[in-house]
Amino acid sequence: MKAGVQRFAPHVFEIRATVLENRDLAAVLRRADVVVYATGSERIVAMLGPAARAFEYRHTPDPREIDQILLPTLDGMRGAPATSTAGPPPARLKELP
C-alpha cells in the first residue's frame, strides 16, 4: 500500500506506514497531517488529531496480475503445478471496469 501511495504522491517528502496492531497507533496518528487508510480500517479516523485529513485507499487488484503472478506463486508455494498461463484471465475471474 505504501508503494501505491508513493506512486500517487511523489511530491510528498516523507511517507510513513504502520499497521492497525501497532501498540502506538493512536500516537502515530495524532502526529499525522494526512492519513491514507486502507478499506476496512475506518476506525482509525476517530484517533486522528483535530487538524488531520484522512481518506481511504481503495485498492482493486488487477485480474491479470492475479492470474499471471499471484496464482502461480501460490501454486508454487503449495508444491502444485501452476494453474495459470500467460494467456487471458480464466473464466473464474471477472474483469473489473
Give pLDDT, residue 49.
87
Cα–Cα nearest to 89, from 73, 75, 68: 68
Domain edges within the chain? 2-57, 62-90
First to last CA, the chain: 21
Are 38 and 59 in contact by the 8 Å Cβ rule? The answer is: yes
| Global pTM value | 0.57
State residue 96's pLDDT score.
Answer: 53
Give tens-digit pLDDT for 9-68.
888 888 989 999 999 999 999 889 999 998 889 999 999 988 999 999 887 777 888 888
Q: How confident is the model at residue 84 (pLDDT cuts 50, 70, 90)?
A: low
